[in-house]
Amino acid sequence: MTTDGTRNRLQGHAVTLACVLLFADRQFGTHFFDVEAHGQPLLWQHLFWMFGHPWVYAIVLPALGIVSDALPTFCRRPLVGYTPVALATVATMIVGFGVWLHHMFATGMPVLSLAFFSAASLVITIPSAVSTFAWIATIWTGKPVLTTPFLFLSSFIILFVIGGVSGVMTGAVPLDFQLTDTYFVVAHLHYVLIGINVFPVIGGIYYWFPKMTGRMMSERLGRWNFWTMFLGFNIGFFPMHIVGLMGMPRRIYTYAPGLGWDTINLITTLGSFAFAIGILLFLINLTVSLRHGMPAGANPWDGPTLEWSVPSPVPAYNFAVIPLVASRHPLWEDRLESPERSSLSRGYLLNQGRETLATTVLDAEPDLILKMPGDSYAPLALALGLGVLFVGLILRSEPWAIVGVLATALAILVWLWPQRRLGQIAEPHHV
Amino acid sequence: MSESALREQMLPIGSFGRKSSGWYGVWTLVLTEAAIFVYLLFSYFYLASQANGEWPIGGAPSLALAAPNTLVLLASSTALIWAERSGARRGKRIQLLSGLALALFLGVIFVIVQLREWQGKAFSIRSGTYGSSYFVVTGFHLAHVIVGLTLLLTLFIWALRGDFDAQRHAPITIGAIYWHFVDAVWLVVFTALYLVPRLG
């Protein structure tokens, strides 16, 4: 999560800036993208992909977290290679800074840029492979329980490999010149976005639904749901690789008859309908189980992590004390004969108002007791102030923009005003 | 950690020295804003590399105002370091208030000089890609300076009320991080826009 947060801090704002510059072009007469004044439309593409490529990781990293968290429960053992997987995630983020150009190989680049970004795009497969082999090893050395969540989570590995391999293929410059703007790319991006995100997320919903609602989702319907989605998805999207290699362009809604693409596209259509039916089965399972699912109990999957130690659904007052967590699998410490012992019933009470524990960044040692702020209208006022500011800018109304700036400043000031009860200002001196 | 260690350890409560959620918050903000400036300067250099007109317009910009102004901003940061180290951390209000006032004063000078620098330009924000880049990059920075000045003024008022002592002064530390960041960004912007064109 920290990795994802850092990535969002550093990369999300490339497209924010692109939008600001475009706004300036339109409202204030600047010439960043304006071709007539030698502005550069390609600058937009650069800024967009500096954001756009890492954005894929923004979507994928939480899904990888779901898999690394939930898959071990169904393999009846902790994740193999936790530390390498965590480091691989960080490495993916870092190398991910230097690969945006592989979306633009065909726009006309110096050879040196092509070589550098192609190399980075190939190198980024190494951390992904580390995670992949760790998941496979977890299943291999565990005792897999073939439940619906397990099916979704393990099938993700297959889809991750297919989507990853087609990604590496487009990372190689000569092949990319052939593949750019063809259906091959459409196939790749759907394997990435649906295969690597939607499958683990649905697996995650099957896994945590009992914790959220206190009821199990139907296993029988769940299997129908999985197999319809999995087969439908692959029948629908795999053939796109083939028509892509045959030269079918993307972003064009139709094609001339007799190009040899008809049968493959028919298969794609059938597959996509099957996939849609699979999603429908999921939604049906969700609604039916919400009312009629079997009662789940606190820990239906015999999971190792803290959330499974409290009743389902989680009551508002979940832990009486802040648990002291010593390992990554506090509920399995006995059976794993782990030397570390977590304590769920003894810990910081923190009962003096709204308090929580701050910990050190890497070792999570208790560091400080934070006083949390109470309810406040300041954030709402800030949002409204910003709204007035930006609407004022769009309408080119200076008075409203100024009102917006002042309201924003005022809201931030009120929000951040130091408070004695939050321990932010000096105690009065006792005489 | 063991239970005995838990019993022995007394944790501070609330904001304590620089330990506070705002300290992490401002570093997150600094990271975000630094990224924005990296992308801005990327855009500047990209447009420079693709320019087919005069870049910069009228040759490398004059250092007559910009170089002394850079020193003014550095002095402002130095005053704030003094305010924090000799004032806030030791609970000495006079040092804190005078350091903040000096930092604020020098910051205002920077803004006035920067506005004069803008007035003296022979081109505008609408003058091709260079004019657009120059004014948007320096404008982004000036906006950050003005936010920083508002922040210093607020800190001054809080310090005047006697809100801070040697333990409770996290807002000063947090504000200082932002102000030093704004100064550091200026050094990068100054190097990119004023010094780099002199190299070639």
CATH architecture of the region A2-292: Up-down Bundle (1.20)
Question: Domains of chain B: which residue ranges?
Answer: 35-49+58-199
Phi and psi based region of residue A364 (left: phi greater than 0; alpha: psi -120 to 50; beta: remaining): left
Diameter of chain A measured on Cα atoms: 96
- Give me the pLDDT at residue A320, please: 87
- In A, which residues are within 8 Å of B88 by CB distance? none
Q: Which residues contact A354 (CB under 8 A, 6 or more apart)?
A: A371, A372, A373, A374
CB atoms within 10 A of CB A143: 9
Enter the CATH code of domain B35-49+58-199. 1.20.120.80
Element (H, E) at A80: none
Per-position pLDDT tens, chain A of length 431: 567 777 777 878 899 999 999 999 999 999 999 998 889 999 999 999 999 988 888 888 889 889 999 999 999 999 999 999 989 988 988 888 889 999 999 998 889 999 999 999 999 999 999 999 999 999 999 999 999 999 999 999 999 999 999 999 999 999 999 999 999 999 999 999 999 999 999 999 999 999 999 999 999 999 999 999 999 999 999 999 999 999 999 999 999 988 999 999 999 999 999 999 999 999 999 999 999 999 999 999 999 999 999 999 999 888 888 888 889 999 999 999 989 899 888 888 888 888 888 888 888 888 889 888 889 999 999 999 999 999 999 999 999 999 999 999 999 999 999 988 888 888 776 54
- B154: nearest CA in chain A? A413
Whether B43 and A10 lie within 8 Å, measured CB to CB: no
Which pLDDT score is estimated for A163? 94
What pLDDT score does A307 carry? 95
Q: Which two tokens stand for residue A180?
A: 């750019």
Phi, psi (rounded to 5 degrees) for A322 = -75, 115
Query: Considering only CB atoms, which chain A residues are within 8 Å of B43?
Result: 17, 21, 32, 43, 47
Task: Look at residue B1 in the predicted model and tell me its pLDDT.
Answer: 47
**Taking CB atoms and an 8 Å cutoff, what residues of chain A touch B170?**
424
What is the pLDDT, as a whole number, of residue A400?
97
Reference A245, options A314, A188, A197; nearest CA is A188
Residue from the list B15, B40, B53 with its beta carbon closest to the beta carbon of A38: B53
Position B107 confidence tier, pLDDT thresholds 50, 70, 90: very high
Pick from A25, A42, A370 the residue to mutate for testing the B interface (most B CBs within 10 Å).
A370
B5-14: per-residue pLDDT in tens?
Answer: 555 568 888 8
For residue B3, what pLDDT is reported? 52
Pick B39's closest partner by Cβ from A14, A357, A418. Answer: A14
Phi-psi region of A264 (alpha: psi -120 to 50; beta: other; left: phi over 0): alpha
Structure tokens at B52: 């087919």
Closest partner residue to B163 (CB to CB) among A9, A28, A426 is A426
C-alpha–C-alpha distance, residues B111 and A213, integer Å: 57
Q: Which residues contact A287 (CB under 8 A, 6 or more apart)?
A: none
Distance CA(B56)–CA(B120), nearest Å, equals 15
Q: At what angle do helices B21-50 and A13-28 cross, to 10 degrees?
A: 60
| Cβ <8 Å between B14 and A366 | no
Instruction: Find where tokens 């004063």 sit.
Output: B105
Whether residue B4 has pLDDT greater than 80: no
CB within 8 A of A333, min separation 6: which ones?
A: A326, A327, A340, A341, A342
State the alpha helices, DSSP H only, in A293-416: 378-394, 398-416
The residues pairing with B74 across neighbouring beta strands, listed in sequence order, are none
Taking Cα atoms as reference points, which of A3, A105, A11 lies closest to residue A51? Answer: A11
pLDDT in tens, B9-33: 688 888 887 788 889 899 999 999 9
Cα separation, A291 vs A425, whole angstroms? 51
Residue with tokens 């999921």: A282
- Rounded Cα gap, residues A402 and A46, in angstroms: 33
> CA-to-CA distance for B47 and A46, rounded, in angstroms?
12
Q: B142: distance to nearest CA of chain A, Å? A: 15
For residue B117, the model assigns a pLDDT of 96
Beta partners for A244?
A: none
Answer yes or no: do A368 and B11 touch at CB < 8 A. Answer: yes
Distance between A203 CA and the closest CA of chain B, angstroms: 32
pLDDT at A430: 55
DSSP E strand boundaries for B90-195: none
Closest chain A CA to residue B151? A413
Nearest to A209 by CA among A266, A152, A131, A138: A152
| Domain spans, chain A | 2-292, 319-371, 378-421
- Please indicate whether, in this complex, the C-beta atoms of A371 and B13 are within 8 angstroms of each other: yes
Q: What is the DSSP-derived secondary structure letter of residue A269?
A: H
CA dist A388 and A381 (Å) reads 10
CA distance A29 to B127: 9
Residue B111: the pLDDT is 98
